Amino acid sequence: MPRDGRPTRERILISAEALVIENGYAATSVDQVIAASGTSKGAFFHHFGSKLDLARALVERYAAGDVAQLDAATAYAEAVTDEPLGQVDAFLAWFEERADDLMDEQSSCLYISVLTERQLVNAGTAEPIVKAVVAWRDGLARLLAAALADGAGGRRHQVDVDALADHVFVTFEGAFLLARATGDPGHMRRQLHVLRDLVRALLRAR
């Protein structure tokens, strides 16, 4: 068991995240997490009161990273241009360009593993996920609303801006599943590209 610089608690979280994303929560045993992180039962239950406790910590950590990515994409979009239309486009392009790296480091999303099991949702584990979704919706909907006020698309199609913002989240999660089903990680990039084309067409329709 090689000692890297990371504190034990974080080592456990990192190993557990990979295992749960790959195999699901119920299919991941505490012993597996212990083996993968090179720790022990004593260490595990010292840092986490129960397996469910680990799940909560896992989702909280993961969602925080997710919101951080949203902020990075928004900052990039706002740095590139002042035009609302261009900002939405740059926002989507940011993710599209990072799609391959994203699929490299994780072949799926922790949210999917968590939302699959009702016991986790009932235990409040989905709450950080909802917060992340709302953060995405708020952030992107703001950009979209400005763009729709700018272009003609909004008036023509009466777009539900919140639902359109949610569609980005929906595309991400759906693309993860499609990539898993077919074994082709390239779907993430292609789906984000499709999304960008679709949103472009909607915003520029006149």
Partner DNA sequence: TTTGTATCAGACTGTTTGGTCTGGTATCAA
Partner DNA sequence: TTGATACCAGACCAAACAGTCTGATACAAA
| Binding residues for DNA (CB under 7 A) | 1, 7-9, 28-32, 39-43, 45-47, 49-52
Q: What is the DSSP string of the chain?
A: ----SS-HHHHHHHHHHHHHHHH-STTS-HHHHHHHHT--HHHHHHH-SSHHHHHHHHHHHHHHHHHHHHHHHHHHHHHH-S-HHHHHHHHHHHHHHHHHHHHHH-SS-HHHHHHH-HHHHHTTTTHHHHHHHHHHHHHHHHHHHHHHHHSSHHHHH---HHHHHHHHHHHHHHHHHHHHHHS-THHHHHHHHHHHHHHHHHHH--
Least CB distance to its own copies at residue 117 (A): 4
Minimum distance, C-beta of residue 170 to its own copies, in the bound complex (Å):
3
Q: Which does 118 bind (CB under 5 to 8 A by kind): its own copies, DNA, none?
A: its own copies
Give the binding site for its own copies (CB under 8 A): 22-27, 108, 111-113, 115-119, 121, 126, 129-130, 133, 153, 157, 159-160, 163-164, 166-167, 169-175, 177-178, 180-182, 187, 190-191, 193-195, 197-202, 204-205
Nearer Cβ to its own copies (14/43):
14
Nearer to DNA, 9 or 193 (CB): 9
For DNA, which is the closer residue by CB, 41 or 204?
41
Residue 151 C-beta: closest distance to its own copies, Å? 11
Residue 183, amino acid: G
By beta-carbon proximity to DNA, the closer residue of 26 and 163 is: 26
